[in-house]
Amino acid sequence: MVFLSCIYTKTGDDGFTALGNGTRVSKDSARVAAYGDVDECSSVLGLVIAEGLDEQWNERLAQVQNDLFDVGSDLCRPGDPKGEARMGEAYVKRLEGWIDGANSDLPDLTSFILPGGTKGAAWLHLARTVCRRAERSVVTLFGDPEEAAQSNPQVLLYLNRLSDLLFVLARYVNHAAGEGDVLWRPAGKVEES
């Protein structure tokens, strides 16, 4: 359980922070950047929920926010990924089930799509791009063999699947609103007014 009696500790005033195992690292380290991007993704999902999707998806996205806390925890605590990891295969499988369900009633994609349509879909696309940045940050972290050996590989799978879910869910939200996808019009196919 977490207990905070004071929000400011002044221990980060020198540009360093403590990881979950007590190791002090620079605030711009690859590990801190990775879990910072995960935190940002969760914040954007908070905006999606505040915008208000249907009750089922609001509950699922709240679950994803909790999952992202587990992702951040795994990233914040380097060590034996099998002994300490919170993130497991079941997290990824759950996302895959949600993707399959949301995608089942959508029309096939025949073009690239642009972020937009309804406000909820636009927020979902923003969450997707932040999730992809978090994924790239984790790839950077895992690019160091020593860091990779101390990290949970399920984190990367989860973020990859989450970005897929957010893409499909943005399409689902637009489809449910009767908006449809916002299609990309390649150069040369721009309509003149």
CA 94/CA 115 separation, integer angstroms: 25
pTM: 0.87
**Separation of alpha carbons 27 and 32, rounded Å:** 6
Confidence bin at 30 (pLDDT 50/70/90): confident
pLDDT, tens digit, for every residue of 51-104?
Answer: 888 999 999 999 999 999 999 988 988 775 556 668 889 999 999 999 999 999
Compute the mean pLDDT over every residue in the chain, rounded to the nearest whole number: 87
CA-based Rg of the chain, rounded to a whole angstrom?
19
- Per-residue pLDDT tens digits for 139-168: 999 999 998 988 999 999 999 999 999 999
Q: How far apart are CA 87 and CA 67, in angstroms?
A: 8
Q: Quote the CA–CA distance of 4 and 16 in Å, as a whole number.
A: 20
CA 76 → CA 10, 13, 105, distances in Å? 19, 19, 38
Domain boundary assignment for the chain: 25-182
Identify the CATH homologous superfamily for domain 25-182.
Answer: Cobalamin adenosyltransferase-like (1.20.1200.10)
